[in-house]
């Protein structure tokens, strides 16, 4: 029991550290996070591809879907990553997420507008429109459910589309 407890603490710390949205990353890091994993063997051809996702800190003006200029460098890197050879055949979902402050309906609408703003930014930077879809999630999928109003709940998730 004494050896299990430290392992549980380490696992809990690691899961919290992984839950933090990314504020900055290189193009290569973004490609690595979103690229499909290669199957371990050639005999597993019928397996569904693993869904890949990354949570990003994208800042918007207060109570608005207007992107702040501080988020544009990360989004420019994301657009470049999505245009890379490893990702250019993939389709992606842009999900907007909020914290739990305010009503569910309001947050769902705001998150949808923010996801759309990110989608439009990516399109303006060369990502084909048919490869992207936007969706607002409001506070339905909190990254930190223990603290519903935590900043890390306000994020944009980029994931491979089904």
Q: What is the mean pLDDT of residues 55-80?
A: 94
Q: What is the pLDDT of residue 78?
A: 98
Q: What is the mean pLDDT of residues 48-75?
A: 91
Report the percentage of the chain scoring pLDDT > 90: 73
> Is residue 111 predicted with pLDDT exceeding 90?
yes
Distance CA(23)–CA(83), nearest Å, equals 20
Averaged pLDDT of the chain: 86
The answer to whether 118 touches 129, Cβ cutoff 8 Å, is no
The answer to whether 75 touches 114, Cβ cutoff 8 Å, is no
Lowest model confidence (mean pLDDT) among 20-24, 101-105, 118-122: 20-24
Domains of the chain (ranges, CATH numbers): 4-35+50-160 (3.30.1330.60)
């Amino acid at each position: 029991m004494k050896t299990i407890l430290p392992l549980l603490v380490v696992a809990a710390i690691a899961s919290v550290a992984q839950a933090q949205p990314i504020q900055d990353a290189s193009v290569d890091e973004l490609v690595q996070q979103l690229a499909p994993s290669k199957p371990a063997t050639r005999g597993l051809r019928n397996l569904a591809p693993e869904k890949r996702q990354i949570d990003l800190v994208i800042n918007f003006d207060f109570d608005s879907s207007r992107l702040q200029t501080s988020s544009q460098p990360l989004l420019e890197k994301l657009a470049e990553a999505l245009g890379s050879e490893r990702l250019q055949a993939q389709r992606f979902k842009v999900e907007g997420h909020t914290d739990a402050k305010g009503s569910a309906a309001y947050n769902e609408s705001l998150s949808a507008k923010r996801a759309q703003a990110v989608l439009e930014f990516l399109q303006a930077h060369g990502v084909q429109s048919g490869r992207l879809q936007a969706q607002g999630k409001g506070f339905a999928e909190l990254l930190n459910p223990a603290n519903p109003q935590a900043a890390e709940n306000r994020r944009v998730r980029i994931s491979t589309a089904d």
